[in-house]
Amino acid sequence: MAQNKKIQVEGKEITILFDGEKEFISLTDMLKAKDGDFFISDWLRNRNTVEYLGIWESVYNSDFNYGEFATIKSQAGLNSYKLSVKEWVTKTNAIGLKATAGRYGGTYAHPDIAFEFGMWISPQFKIYLIKEFQRLKADENDRLKLDWNLQRTLAKVNYVIHTDAIKANLLPKELTNTQTGLVYANEADMLNMALFGKTAKQWARRKS
């Protein structure tokens, strides 16, 4: 499981929470950059916010509760309207926002939604948030490329050692060149599966 990470946006430390393969940005941390006494519920009661969240969920969430969403939307913007993140998630089965407890407790949002929340703080904050998040993703991609190249190098070294061992200990002298090639290919696929989870043929199909 990926570890949580942090980025710096205009002097504020923003946590990136990893939940499986999904990433969520801390709205609680982002709120510290907004002047005055504001709460996430103030943003959530805004009609434009509710409409945006509803559209986002309709695109990415097949279990979204449109009936409850319609009720919430009809009340959004009223002075008496109150809605917490937990209520939003519970009523609509939303997946773009989440409230957590514990060490990394707080309110988190999918990057798409977090960027919109950043606009509520200030246009400048939103721009720098996107910039720092993109820099984080670029650093991760560079690291993955380095890891991949290292694994490929190790695979090549191990393949030479492996084939030498096969030649010295496993190959009967009476095998033809074709039969010998099949043995080497099978052993190479074993190495590829162990290191990468795919055979060379499967990698070729993936690239085509």
DSSP string, 148-159: HHHHHHHHHHHH
**pTM greater than the 0.75 cutoff:** no
Question: Highest-confidence range of 2-16, 25-39, 63-77, 183-197, by mean pLDDT?
Answer: 63-77
pLDDT of residue 91: 95
> Binning pLDDT at 50, 70 and 90, where does residue 198 land?
low
In this structure, of 6-20, 30-44, 191-205, the range with the lowest mean pLDDT score is 191-205
Instruction: Give the span between the Cα atoms of 65 and 93, in whole angstroms.
Output: 6
Q: What pLDDT digit, counting tens, does each position of 10-36 carry?
A: 988 999 998 888 899 999 999 988 876
Nearest 5°: phi and psi at 16?
-110, 115
pLDDT above 70 for 64: yes
Go through the chain and tell me how many residues it has. Answer: 208
Q: What pLDDT digit, counting tens, does each position of 95-153 carry?
A: 999 998 877 679 999 999 999 999 999 999 999 999 999 998 888 877 766 555 545 55
Q: Give me the torsion for CA of 146, 150, 156, 157, rounded to 10°.
A: 160
Instruction: Give the span between the Cα atoms of 17 and 9, in whole angstroms.
Output: 16
